[in-house]
Amino acid sequence: MDKPLDHNERIPVVKGNFNLKDYEEARRTFRWEDVEPRFTWHRTGKVNAAYECIDRHVDEGRGDKVALLYSDAQRNESYTFRQLRDLSNRFGNALRKLGVKKGDRVFIFMSRSPELYVAFLGALKVGAIVGPLFEAFMEAAVRDRLQDSQAKVVVTNERLKGRIPIQDLSHLEHVVVQGLTGTPGPKEQSFEALMEEASQELAIEWVDREDGLVLHYTSGSTGKPKGVLHVHNAMIQHYITGLWVLDLHPEDIYWCTADPGWVTGTSYGIFAPWLNGVTNVVRGGRFSQEDWYKTLQDHRVTVWYTAPTALRMLMGAGEELVRQYDLSSVRHILSVGEPLNPEVVRWGLKVYGRRIHDTWWMTETGAQLICNYPCMDIKPGSMGKPFPGIDAAIVDDEGRELPPYQMGNLAIRRGWPSMMRAIWNNPAKYQEYFRLEGWYISGDSAYRDEDGYFWFQGRVDDVINTSGERVGPFEVESKLVEHPAVAEAGVIGKPDPVRGEIIKAFIALRQGYEPSEELKQEIRDFVKNGLAAHAAPREIEFRDKLPKTRSGKIMRRVLKAWELGLPTGDLSTMED
């Protein structure tokens, strides 16, 4: 869809009230330590992220300010910081009554709703590590994550609870169900009844900066999803990137469109806005262009953080639609999760009259690392420049830094505040990211230009990014081969103009099965109902045989080459 990249095209800074006035100056002078006096731990040595997000604003006289504006097709509600403090206190007490202690894993498997945020904050307040689960996950995906993390409690709702296989989860003690109907099943507790009984006064569990905060499961190219652990210390970076990249000012109305099941929805849907004390908009339900524009308009959103797929869909819906809404409140737009096409940036400027600021980071990095700042020119197609305090480089496989325009591994000097602290139960996996002395290796390839802007090129591994959602091919392949008709399956990301990539599966059928459109649909539904809708292959191609190494590993690289009509490269390890 795009013309070749132009490294000299610039969208200049617009006039504004930026929190970060001069990027180059900040790079020279900024120290992470300078941010710390913002937080309570500076005085006490102990901290709790939920206190810093919510209670602190009440204690400092901002209790009546609106913290959360929630809406969906049925509900339209607002909550002040004081109300969120009291509700999360209640939920914290409820969890304590259920025996939850510091360090226990409390998972949240709910649709976006005020109760999700109350549960999230309440769990943090008693020192639990929160594991958010995206609501589209089906039984197999839920089981893997709860088993690996040994979760003690899951908070869910009546619609989703059936996907929690309690019979397989001996460590799981309670399932707290919002909107419970009928008599509670085994291990079930009513969310509403627990809240009703609980006191509004809570003694917060003060923790150390290095204690666990959130556990996000994410996909790699091999093996099951891995649990990326972040700690309370990450909030230093959540706060300061909120101030300088999101450009949050106290009067802002901020909307991050990501679901808290993904890292953007926690780091930038919970922590960054509330640490900065702004009003946070949450919209429930699915994407629709009308609905999104209406949300921007009706809530008078000023800062909007979204994703390329959504922007491409909005672009597809056209200019006419934009004119039907009053979007004049929107001051600052940002994007994350996949490459942001220069086309989209130019369109945004023309139609919204605003620059779209790309940001690059990952589940593992916990917060933004490479960004476009309101005070800096944008080069459409570039991810921007490293955040002050972040040392980013392009290195070869031995860790040697490469000159401008040479493609290599995007690496970050180890030790920023929101860096993941562990892969749950898997220290070897954690070490892999740090295999080059002193560096974190992202798995993305990129290059830098002579002005220090970074340009994304692709993934080094087989991880698929479909509509900004990260999907591991192994997880999908494992599900596919559970289908009785499937003998072997190989899964790749196929380039797609709207979704970035779509999932394509190559399948060899078992004897006795014939290829047909019905069978494709059946297999697709099998993955959708067993794993997750977003993980189901949109395209399926039947083949008599799949390319494999002599040790039996499916060669996805060859499948990808077939798909793109490219040379297959070195085939010396392929079986006959």
Binding site for ligand PRX (CB under 6 A): 218, 263-264, 336-339, 358-363, 383, 442-444, 456, 459, 465, 470
Both tokens of 71, joined, read 């809406």
- Alpha-carbon distance of 398 to 410, in angstroms, equals 13
Q: Name the nearest CA neighbour of 364 among 492, 217, 464, 245.
A: 217
Q: Which is nearer to ligand PRX, 165 or 443 (CB)?
A: 443
Nearer to ligand PRX, 109 or 360 (CB): 360
Report the DSSP beta bridge partners of residue 459.
444
* Closest CB 362 distance from ligand PRX, rounded Å: 4
User: Closest CB to ligand PRX among 89 and 359?
Assistant: 359
* Closest to ligand PRX by CB, 454 or 506: 454
> In whole angstroms, what is the distance from residue 48 CA to residue 206 CA?
6
Q: Report the nearest approach of ligand PRX to the CB of residue 290 (Å).
A: 26
Nearer to ligand PRX, 163 or 357 (CB): 357
What are all long-range contacts of 44-48, with beta carbons under 8 Å and residues at least 24 apart? 44/206, 46/206, 46/207, 46/208, 47/206, 47/207, 47/208, 47/209, 47/232, 47/235, 48/124, 48/125, 48/127, 48/204, 48/205, 48/206, 48/207, 48/232
Nearer Cβ to ligand PRX (111/442): 442
Q: What 3-state class would DSSP assign to 311?
A: helix
Nearer to ligand PRX, 301 or 383 (CB): 383
Collapsed DSSP state (helix, strand, coil) of residue 298: helix
Question: How far is 275 from 508, CA to CA, in rounded Å?
Answer: 51
Q: Smallest distance from the beta carbon of 496 to ligand PRX, in angstroms?
A: 15
For the CB of residue 525, give the shortest distance to ligand PRX in the complex, in Å: 25
Strands 174-178 and 188-190: parallel
What sign results for the dihedral spanned by CA atoms 356, 361, 366, 371? negative
Closer to ligand PRX by Cβ: residue 207 or 410: 410
**What is the distance between the alpha carbons of residues 278 and 296, in angstroms, rounded to a whole number?**
16
Least spacing, CB of residue 162 vs ligand PRX, in Å: 27
Q: How far is the CB of 377 from ligand PRX (least distance, A)?
A: 17
Pick between residue 164 and residue 367 the one whose CB is nearest to ligand PRX.
367
Q: How far apart are CA 440 and CA 451, in angstroms?
A: 23
Which C-beta is closer to ligand PRX: that of 264 or that of 295? 264
Q: Which tokens is 112 given?
A: 């976006």
Q: Are strands 422-423 and 153-157 parallel, antiparallel or unpaired?
A: unpaired
Report the nearest approach of ligand PRX to the CB of residue 500 (Å): 9
User: Measured from the CB of residue 338, what is the shortest distance to ligand PRX in angstroms?
Assistant: 5
Q: How far is the CB of 90 from ligand PRX (least distance, A)?
A: 32
Least distance in angstroms from the C-beta of 258 to ligand PRX: 8
Longest dimension (CA), the chain: 73
d(CA 258, CA 336): 10
Interhelix angle for 308-317 vs 289-298, to 10°? 100
Residue with the shortest CB distance to ligand PRX:
363
Closest CA relative to residue 152, chosen from 130, 179, 185, 134:
130
